[in-house]
Structure 1
Amino acid sequence: MSEAPEAGSAASGLCAVSVLCCLALACSYVGSLYVWKSELSRDHPAVIKRRFTSVLIVSSLSPVFLCVWRELTGIKTDAAILSLMGFRLDGILTATILPLLLTMILFLGPLVQLSVDCPWGLLDGLKVTFDPRFWRLCFTDMRWLRNQVIAPLTEELVFRACMLPMLVPCTSPGRAIFTCPLFFGIAHFHHVIEQLRFRQGTVLSIFLSAAFQFSYTAVFGAYTAFIFIRTGHIIGPVLCHSFCNYIGFPAIFTALEHPQRATIFFFYILGVVLFFLLLYPMTDPSLYGDIPICYLLEKGSRDHRSLCL
């Protein structure tokens, strides 16, 4: 009769350690952005470069948090730390292509809208895409580099690759998908400080914008967490994150006023329908090899069977 209370206390202890480690990691990531004192805005190239240094240091140290968590909880797995974090070769080709393709299907409406409004033809677009000067310009643009490379890579590494392995044994994969984005969403509230500091709007508008951003980033975080758990790779979430940063939130109100709004809304609806039809088939774990996070689940459990078989 004494085993049940002991098991319950062990589970609560595991969850407490997991949540504390995730909080420490989130605070370290956000705190690293403010170690540099500056009167310049976050979009100034000098500020961006300094923050690159900070977040890259924290991100490179993030596996240490996972190691500390494993030592504190006593959880032993057959998977290496980097493998748990999604750095592996098994199934990498499908992990690179399918999640990104699935995300593009979801954004089919915005992509059609962009193509309709784009002044370039297909051949012009291909010429620009394969022009080395275009990519040289991109990689020397600090804002582009932040939004398309550094932010997707470091945020997915910290908020998905490190946090999900710590949360899964406590909450189960399904609950971890919706728990992990809370840390990700809250971490974006630091933008409120800078907006208030530089008076980029009224207090009400700033907080409403922050609430909207929290909701959007939480939903997006749940999606990339789902991809990470289903595929066991970090590359898919990073590419999807970069793509979504490029596209931005769908310009639905602009689409309402578009001369070809009927066509555009057809593709908006088609994209959403196809996305939900293809969500599970395109993220079937059997397509991605041996999923390392399965080693954190109790064999024989429903979560283990649904995720790993």
Structure 2
Amino acid sequence: MEVDGGAGDGVSVSVAVVACTAMTIFYVAILYSPTLILRLPPPTSFKSYMTRRFICAGISTFVSLLVCAFILPIKSWETPYLFSAYGIHPHHTWEAVLLPLFLTSLMYTGSFLLKFFSLWTSLTEQSGQQIDLSLHGIKTVLQNFINWIHSHLCNISSWRLYIVAPLTEELVFRACMIPLLLCGGFKPYTVILLSPVFFSLAHLNHLLEFYMHQDSSFLKACMVVGFQLGYTVIFGSYASFLFVRTGHIAAPLVSHMFCNFMGLPAFFSPRTRMVSVGFVAGVVGFVYLLFPLTSPELYNDRIDNCKCWHRYCEWRS
């Protein structure tokens, strides 16, 4: 494990690692505090249960951001400078949203093709029926689309998957931990491999929940959660890579939301080989464009020939 410096550089290695570990434990432990510590009565519905978790996740995120601000050797507490410590920038926002989103979507080329073939099959099966292209038919399609959006907006699970979980996890495990580890002296690529470990450990509680609530064997629970942990390590490395390369928290955030929405990439379908071909083509495109589309010059006006182009070096006294 490569480390650039020690305590003299502003944040010691031990402080950085201990702080990241504490944030991970706190992020998970606080989810169970309403019933175990505060002794509140059990939630009466799934919605109230998730609302409690949203509040707990919000509190842990705020505390992590606050603690991180005190640990990092930040020279100025002015809002723009402080926000920049977490990768929150007003500039190059569109680049930080669209380019990583396009890059991530390449991994889902097979999924897009599978969706297209499913839609095409559905249309061909209805070929004997007349497709309504009238104004009324178009209004019906639009209304169905609006109803679909409304159903997601009213679904508490959708808020968890697409908003709360990505936002809080990216702020804690990327915006807080990566600056700490970098200022602790870890090299960028070491951080990209190390920070996902904390990210995956934060999902270990799913093992207990799956084992208890799904009435599954412990072996099956371990296999399911083990697969999930492997996926979180891979995605965590990618999200960390995006944050380190772009310096924008928006880059891993939109990618996280998109991946949660799409699920696992489709790489095979018994109905058509084109899904596998599309998946391979998407992977090739992803690898080819990975570094060009995450070049720091695309997301920052000035990098001053400094490896700490996202200004982490300026925090060191």
| Letter in structure 2 aligned against 1:274 | G
Deviations 1:7-32 (A, max 9, x none): 76657971100011111111111112
Of the candidates 22, 25, 32, which is equivalent to residue 34 of structure 1? Answer: 32
> Where is the helix percentage greater, Structure 1 or Structure 2?
1
Q: Which residue of 2 aligns with 1:163?
A: 177
Q: Which residue of 1 aligns with 2:15?
A: 17
Which of 1 and 2 has higher RCO (CA within 8 Å, sep 6+)?
2
- Say which is worse superposed, 126-135 or 146-155, in terms of deviation: 126-135
**Residues paired across the two proteins, number:** 283
Quote the Cα distance in structure 2 between the aligned partners of 1:222 and 1:163: 13
Kept after mapping to 2: 8 A contact 1:225/1:237:
yes
After superposition, the Cα gap between the structure-2 partners of 1:128 and 1:147, relative to the gap in structure 1 and judged at 3 Å, is farther
Kept after mapping to 2: 8 A contact 1:128/1:134:
no
Unaligned runs of 5+ in 2: 36-40, 124-132
Kept after mapping to 1: 8 A contact 2:247/2:299:
yes
Question: Is the counterpart of residue 191 in structure 1 residue 206 in structure 2?
Answer: yes
Quote the Cα distance in structure 2 between the aligned partners of 1:77 and 1:172: 24
| Letter in structure 2 aligned against 1:294 | H
Deviations 1:215-254 (A, max 9, x none): 11011000011111111111121111011111112344xx
- Give the TM-score of the pair, scaled to structure 2: 0.80
Unaligned runs of 5+ in 1: 1-6, 300-309
- Say which is worse superposed, 78-87 or 95-104, in terms of deviation: 78-87
Quote the Cα distance in structure 1 between the aligned partners of 2:214 and 2:97: 41
Q: In terms of Rg, which structure is larger?
A: 2
- Give the TM-score of the pair, scaled to structure 1: 0.82
Q: Which residue of 2 aligns with 1:146?
A: 160
* Identity value in percent: 31
After superposition, the Cα gap between the structure-2 partners of 1:9 and 1:64, relative to the gap in structure 1 and judged at 3 Å, is closer
| Letter in structure 2 aligned against 1:249 | L
Kept after mapping to 2: 8 A contact 1:19/1:167:
yes
After superposition, the Cα gap between the structure-2 partners of 1:164 and 1:130, relative to the gap in structure 1 and judged at 3 Å, is farther
Quote the Cα distance in structure 1 between the aligned partners of 2:189 and 2:211: 36
Q: Which residue of 1 aligns with 2:58?
A: 56
Q: Which residue of 1 aligns with 2:46?
A: 44
Deviations 1:159-211 (A, max 9, x none): 00111000113211111111100000010010111122224311001011121
Kept after mapping to 2: 8 A contact 1:88/1:233:
yes
User: In the TM superposition, what is the alpha-carbon distance from 1:96 to its structure 2 partner?
Assistant: 0.9
Q: Which residue of 2 aligns with 1:303?
A: none
Quote the Cα distance in structure 2 between the aligned partners of 1:87 and 1:76: 17
Question: Is the counterpart of residue 94 in structure 1 residue 109 in structure 2?
Answer: no
After superposition, the Cα gap between the structure-2 partners of 1:154 and 1:233, relative to the gap in structure 1 and judged at 3 Å, is same
Question: Is the counterpart of residue 176 in structure 1 residue 191 in structure 2?
Answer: yes
Quote the Cα distance in structure 2 between the aligned partners of 1:32 and 1:293: 35
User: In the TM superposition, what is the alpha-carbon distance from 1:297 to its structure 2 partner?
Assistant: 3.6
Kept after mapping to 2: 8 A contact 1:96/1:235:
yes
| Letter in structure 2 aligned against 1:184 | F
Quote the Cα distance in structure 2 between the aligned partners of 1:129 and 1:88: 37
Counting only pairs closer than 5 Å after superposition, residues 231-270 of structure 1 correspond to structure 2 as: 231-252=246-267, 255-257=268-270, 259-260=271-272, 262-270=273-281
RMSD: 2.9
- Please give the secondary structure, in 2, of the residue aligned with 1:90: coil
